[in-house]
Amino acid sequence: MMRTIFGIRPLSSFAPLLAALAFAIFLAATAQGMPTGNQTWSEEPWDAAAQDIQAAAAPALSSPMPFNISGYEPSTILLGDSKINFSDYASQGPEPKPELKMAELWILEGDAWSRYKRSTVGDEVDLVFRMPAYGKADVYLISYANSSIEHWNLNFQEGYSLLKLTASKTGRQFIILTAKNVPSNALMIDVSAPPAALHNSPVDVMAAAPGRTKVAIVSERIRGYDVYVDGVFYSSDIADGKLDGNASFILRRDGKHTITISERDGQGNTINKNEHAKEFKMNTAYTLKIN
């Protein structure tokens, strides 16, 4: 039987306490997360209003929607100054009309299809694409006046599809599609500026709009993380469709905020979590680099 010597209990009697203490230290270390590496903040002026104008200037093209033209056939095909009955145009067949083997593009206007249209900035233009086969195709919007090219890579079903293009730039624009390196016909749209709007107030609305703050997180080390602002989920590095370690979001209030970055493993468990309490100013872009 072990006895107490000089009032000191045997070491073995402290084993449960030591185990509990070690477990508590382990939990504390786990809560702090894994080593976070080097983390640095940078900032620069940011014009939110200019960013909005630039985003608004980008043309928008909807995804293709299957379009069953049965019962919705155009009464007229417009080719330049010529008007052709659609049934006559479609009945020519692929032999005398080999272009039926490639994609065809049309502009839908009422009960007529054409390849030219006059439009105004902000208008929606209905486009009809006929694809000879299922698959991916590249759509190009070429702006002659602005010397710019917009590109979309889209999935199409065989047959007819309906797309909507929102005109955003003035001048002459061309639309063309290529599938399996075979080009379609081209569409031409002349886009004019909208009529000047009347304002009851001389105040520039964009100039009077409240500022905002842009925050970006860039990391080459961590992937698969969520971002919380003051405990509320805001973004993740997969929000833009790419698991690349980059995330960005907009703060609409200045002042002090706590940015929490929570990294998870494949099972959804938190493996790295760190917080950044920082003062943010309006009309400023902040970048947090994690290496």
Q: Which amino acid is at 2?
A: M
pLDDT tens for the 291 residues of the chain, in order: 444 444 545 545 555 555 555 554 444 444 444 444 688 999 999 876 666 555 455 678 888 888 888 777 888 888 888 888 888 887 765 444 444 468 899 999 888 999 999 988 888 899 999 998 889 999 999 887 667 888 899 999 889 999 999 888 788 899 999 988 889 999 999 988 776 544 444 434 333 334 578 899 999 888 888 888 888 767 778 666 577 888 888 887 788 999 999 887 766 677 888 899 999 998 899 999 988
Q: Which residues, 6 or more positions from 142, have their beta carbon under 8 angstroms from its beta carbon?
A: 148, 149, 173, 174, 175, 176
Residue 174: give its domain's CATH number.
Answer: 2.60.40.1930
d(CA 8, CA 278): 51
My answer on whether 144 and 217 are in the same domain is: no
My answer on whether 109 and 132 are in the same domain is: yes
The number of residues making up the chain comes to 291
197 found inside a domain: no
Q: Which domain holds residue 223?
A: 35-51+207-290
d(CA 130, CA 100): 9
- Domain boundary pick from 135, 162, 192: 192
My answer on whether 168 and 281 are in the same domain is: no
My answer on whether 186 and 85 are in the same domain is: yes
My answer on whether 90 and 172 are in the same domain is: yes
Pairing state between β 76-79 and 112-114: parallel
Instruction: Tell me if the pTM is above 0.75.
Output: no
- Domain boundary pick from 133, 168, 192: 192
My answer on whether 79 and 153 are in the same domain is: yes
d(CA 113, CA 262): 53
Per the structure, the count of domains in the chain is 2
